[in-house]
Structure 1
Amino acid sequence: MTDLAVHPAPSVPRGWAGSEEARGLALISPTFLYALALLVLPILIVIAYSFWTQDYLTIDRTFTFENYRKALFEPIYQDLLMRSLRISLMVSIATVVFSYPIAWFISFHGGLNKNLWLFLVTIPCWTSYLLRVMSWKVILGYQGVLNTGLMKLGIIDQPLTWLLYNANAVTIALVHSWAAFAILPIFVSLEKIDRTLIEAATDLGDGPIRRFVRIILPLSMPGVISAFLIVMIPTVGDYVTPQLVGGKDGVMIATAIQANFGKAANWPLGAALSVTTMIVVSLLAGAVVLGFKMLMRVVR
């Protein structure tokens, strides 16, 4: 009793400040603030710039929608944005179509060598992105590997001029560059499928195509959607690939954004183009997700 009197039990904090929620919030707050400073703050700065104007090196902070009017209604920027969205959708569709069979093979037929196959899939990512795009310039060029091979085989008499410096070259280079990023989420989604469902469908008389349409594809759809978005969102704003293999017919919206932040010295217009592209891509991503969900309802 004496000891208890001399050394009373420590008081337990009362109220929200001493709760598990408060301690958890205190634990994640530094990380949250760090992410906020690195991600949200730059976006807010870009949004602020988009409502200003610039005369040479002088920024006029008067609030205006003029930059958004140009970004949305001037034909050159409309064409660049539509072309960027079109190329991005083509790249996303082609990447998922080519990546799905590879992911399916690794998941269902990789056996004990699944890790080896995944290792081989990621090998191209070890090299520089710039180097991978440049390799396609060598392959598709006027005197490139493809033209030289076709001429030696006697298939063509002279080099093809339409292989490089157009939207098709941009699409091919981007599909190759982003294939690994599509294979991995699809593979993970396929790995989560309960194999007993496929065995049950087989026992009930379903053939390979019916099993794929009714079981494998619907259950792997989260991976397909993730792969589609992982490819689509960054490729809309790709700058390097159109510069190297696109030519004038493969120019995308990122080139106009870079020009306004660079040589044109018009940061507000470049910021407005960036924000406009970000909003359009977000809306498109939402439409893609809804479209996939509606498609799966029809398939089922």
Structure 2
Amino acid sequence: MILSREARQGLTLISPTLVYALLLLAAPLLTVVTFSFWTQDYLDIDTTITLNNYREAWTQPIYRTLIFRSLWVSLVVTLVTVVLAFPIAYYLSFHVTRRKALWLFLITIPFWTSYLLRVFLWKVILGYNGVLNSALTGLGIIDEPLTFLLYNVNAVVITLAHAWAPFAILPIFVALEKIDRSLLEAAEDLGDGAVRRFFRVTLPLAMPGVIASTLIVLIPTVGDFVTPRLVGGTDGLMISNMIQIQFGKANNAPLGAALAVSSMVIVSSISLVIFLVGKKFGGRVQ
């Protein structure tokens, strides 16, 4: 079949992007999946196809614990981040009329500093002799520094929620900006109060932004290994830290690949469910 001139021009335009995606996205992913079916034999790789890595990944209690902990931490971080981001985006969209660009500029300021530096700053804030403990003891609220603030799951949740807050605010803000204000005026003319208008008009129409924020925060936080390593301690380690160990110190890349693929499958399934549920809810503007 001979392609039309427009079709050839379209293929010419998308070809560089397609090649880029295949080389930098599809090829590494295919490599990881392929590795997961092989076996590490000391310094050599046995390329015989096997499911032993997946059996070990799903039967060993330590791996299951880390996977479920990672999912739980990521879901909590996502919930906290999106819930706190929505009021900020709502205020910025509906109540800020002047210098809105300045507000957006201020929201993006955390991007100016290194992610690693922000994590270290939270260690300073939450540490045993950190800013928070020093302030509480100085005010006489506590007699001795609190020990549960750092090196646990709570510290991981706080640090990740702060780090990903701008990524949650901006998509919700964009979705709120696209809402036709006349729809809210019509709902008000029909007798809906502020709360009723929010749940019947504003929230459903803003759902695309909420879904985008949820996925933007959920997917990367499951695979974050820097934050759990620095502020999580032994109780805050996640599956990404185990994957790093398998590829590094343990010298077992196939098992690490199996853990990575398992995590990707679980996260993809959860993300698909969130997308479908959010899309269905977002279509209900009554």
> Is the TM value for this pair above 0.5?
yes
TM range (shorter): over 0.9
User: Separation in 2 of the partners of 1:30 and 1:224?
Assistant: 32
Instruction: For residues 136-187 of structure 1, give each alpha carbon's deviation from its aligned partner in whole angstroms, at most 9, with x where no partner exists.
Output: 1111100011111111111111111001111110000000000000000000
Aligned residue for 2:45, secondary structure, equals strand
Runs of 4+ in 1 over 4 A off after TM superposition: 293-300
1:282 — aligned with what? 268
Q: Alignment partner for residue 26 of structure 1, among 1, 5, 12?
A: 12
- Separation in 2, partners of 1:283, 1:223: 20
1:32-111 correspondence runs (5 A): 32-111=18-97
Alignment of 1:159-238 (within 5 A): 159-238=145-224
Return the alpha-carbon distance in structure 2 between the equivalents of residues 279 and 200 of structure 1: 44
- Could you tell me how far apart the structure 1 residues matched to 2:96 and 2:42 are? 59
With normalisation by structure 2, the TM-score equals 0.96
2:250 is aligned to 264
Structure 1 runs not aligned, ≥5 long: 1-14
Encode CA deviations 1:216-268: one digit per residue, 9 max, x unaligned.
11100110010000000000000000001000110000000000000000010
Q: Which residue of 2 aligns with 1:142?
A: 128
- The separation in 1 between residues aligned to 2:2 and 2:174, in whole angstroms, is 40
Name the CA distance, whole Å, in 2 between partners of 1:78 and 1:284.
17
Q: Give TM-score scaled by structure 1 length.
A: 0.92
Residues 298/33 of structure 1: CA separation in 2 closer, same or farther (3 Å cut): closer
Q: How much does 1:296 deviate?
A: 5.5
Q: Deviations over 1:6-47 (max 9, x none)?
A: xxxxxxxxx624432133113322321121111100111111
Aligned to 1:153: 139
Q: What's the CA shift for 1:284?
A: 0.8
User: Which residue identity lines up with residue 111 of structure 1 in the other structure?
Assistant: T
Shift of 1:57: 1.1
Compared CA separation, residues 18 and 293, structure 1 to 2 (3 A): closer
Larger Rg: 1
Q: Which amino acid aligns with 1:220?
A: A
**Structure 2 stretches of 5 or more lacking a match?**
none
